[in-house]
Amino acid sequence: MHMKTIFNDGFFGLLVVTLLATLHIFPSQALAESDNVGLIAGKSVEIPRLRVIVETDAGGDPDDEQSMVRFLMYCNEWDVEGIICTRPKAREKENLNPIRTGLGIVRHMVKAYGECYPKLVQHDVRYPQPDELLLRTVSGYEDSDEGVQLILDAIDSDDPRPVWFMNWGTDHGSASSSLKRALDRVLKERGPSGYAAFKNRIRLSSFENFGNHTAKIGPPFKIWVNTFFPSIAFPDIKEERWYRRFSALTATAGGFELKHDVLTDHGPLGALYPTNTTNVQKESDTMAFLYLVPTGMNDPEQPTWGSWAGRYGRNDKNFPSQPYYWANAKDTWQGVTHRESTLRRWAVHLQNDFKARMDWCVSDRQDANHPPAPQVSGALLRTVASGDTVTVDASDSTDPDGDALQVEWTVYPEPGSYRGVPPTLNLATNSQASFVAPRVESPKTIHLILTVTDDGIPALTRYQRVVVTVAP
């Protein structure tokens, strides 16, 4: 089911990475829910960078500040429209930050990011200017309209791209969600048609804090991926809430060590990572944005495909007629079938990536590692007939640092619709692999994941996905 090979590249890889840095490349941004990928031709669909807004109650559970450190390390991957802070007063005893307002805490973190910026921008020119990010870090308190206005301005802008909104939770002592307040205002002032037009511009990778706007006032959000729950019990997990599993699955993955890799000698932002959470490296909110990190194997419009935040299924229990998803999917990985396998399979990769970005805070470009650029020859979306031989080739994959690359092809059965025995990948020379399409009674999809890992320190991994529709 897999093939490995080693090869090396150099300058051409740097050119490829530079080109891809301006785009998010997803196998499909327009797959129909019928999973009929055979209707789409071409190698890939190039889509613009995602626009994102974060809403955080930093100043409460310190895990928001943990997640914010990681988020700022990834803010080069999106167009960050804003960061909204909803907690006017830091929680006594639980939160030990010497700054005692949520807005003050996050603005201090953005300023620390600014101190790292001269190094970060060497590694990726897309890191946003610190002053611009600071201007977009605003209050979402009940006595302030800054958060509401930021949302209105972003969604009402001429930019045709939708906005991905991430609420990281607003519990006791926090103001209500600025998105809920914005939707209240829009419904009142613009009526049902204006409300629908506004709401259709929003995508959610988020906690649920939007009241009747989630399900009772139509239309539903175009997509809501709840990276925090479900409330479906898994008897073998003490805590069924999905967000509580992030630290357990990732804290030490690949030898990650918080003190060495973040807190010490990694700049002023890493030093702000708090350690007094109930779970070590709790980061309960991190999966909300890890879901959106463009790794090459995920597509935010396809929650069932999998991502660094795990894989998600429809929430038919609570929202049977709406495109809402939660963490009820299971993968079989290393002989274990479990919900946790949907994230555990990527844990080493995502922690190594975080480790490398923390290195970027203090290292010049030539002294740090950078992700490889996988490249599949031919279409990423293919239609074949039963019995056909399908060949995939990754020999054009490159690395910006000239590192040697390890390539692995894997059948990822769960995202596809084919439910027979997964086809065996036949090993070919170099970076090629092939399999014989199985016999089917109706069109079925098979997902292949190309995993490319360099030999830098830490080793970094990126992917590409090939979706093959097998026709009878």
pLDDT of residue 237: 53
pLDDT at 25 over 50: no
| Range of weakest confidence among 1-15, 52-66, 318-332, 395-409 | 1-15
pLDDT at 470 over 50: yes
What share of the chain in percent tops pLDDT 90?
Answer: 84
What share of the chain in percent tops pLDDT 70?
Answer: 87
For residues 32-41, give the mean pLDDT.
30
**The tokens of 45 are what?**
């669909």
pLDDT at 63 over 60: yes
Q: How far apart are CA 309 and CA 68, in angstroms?
A: 16
Buried-exposed string 228-259: b where 16+ CB fall within 10 A, e elsewhere: bbbeeebeeeeebebbbbbbbbbbebbebebe
167: nearest Cα among 52, 259, 5, 301: 52
pLDDT at 75 over 90: yes
pLDDT at 22 over 90: no
pLDDT of residue 241: 81
pLDDT of residue 427: 63
β-strand 202-205 against 426-427: which pairing, if any?
unpaired
pLDDT band per the 50, 70, 90 thresholds, residue 9? very low
Beta bridge partners of residue 294, listed in sequence order: none
**pLDDT, tens digit (0-9, with 9 covering 90-100), for 95-151:** 999 999 999 999 999 999 999 999 999 999 999 999 999 999 999 999 999 999 999
Q: How far apart are CA 405 and CA 373, in angstroms?
A: 10
**pLDDT, tens digit (0-9, with 9 covering 90-100), for 210-259:** 999 999 999 999 999 999 987 555 555 555 689 989 999 999 999 999 99
Helix extents (H) in 99-257: 102-123, 130-135, 146-156, 178-199, 246-250
Reported residue count of the chain is 472
| Range of weakest confidence among 25-39, 149-163, 418-432 | 25-39
> Chain-wide mean pLDDT for the chain?
90
pLDDT of residue 147: 98
pLDDT of residue 446: 97
CATH 3.90.245.10 in the chain, residue ranges: 51-309+311-326
For residues 283-306, give the mean pLDDT.
98
391: nearest Cα among 434, 429, 346, 425: 434
CATH 2.60.40.10 in the chain, residue ranges: 2-43+371-471
Instruction: Check residues 43 and 345 and name the one with the higher pLDDT.
Output: 345
C-alpha dist (Å) from residue 46 to 22, 30, 428: 10, 11, 29
pLDDT of residue 17: 39
Q: How far apart are CA 381 and CA 378, in angstroms?
A: 9
pLDDT of residue 240: 63
Instruction: Specify the CATH class of 2-43+371-471 in words.
Output: mainly beta
Which fold, 51-309+311-326? Inosine-uridine Nucleoside N-ribohydrolase; Chain A (3.90.245)
308: nearest Cα among 321, 326, 295: 295
Give 278's DSSP letter. S
For residues 51-70, give the mean pLDDT.
98
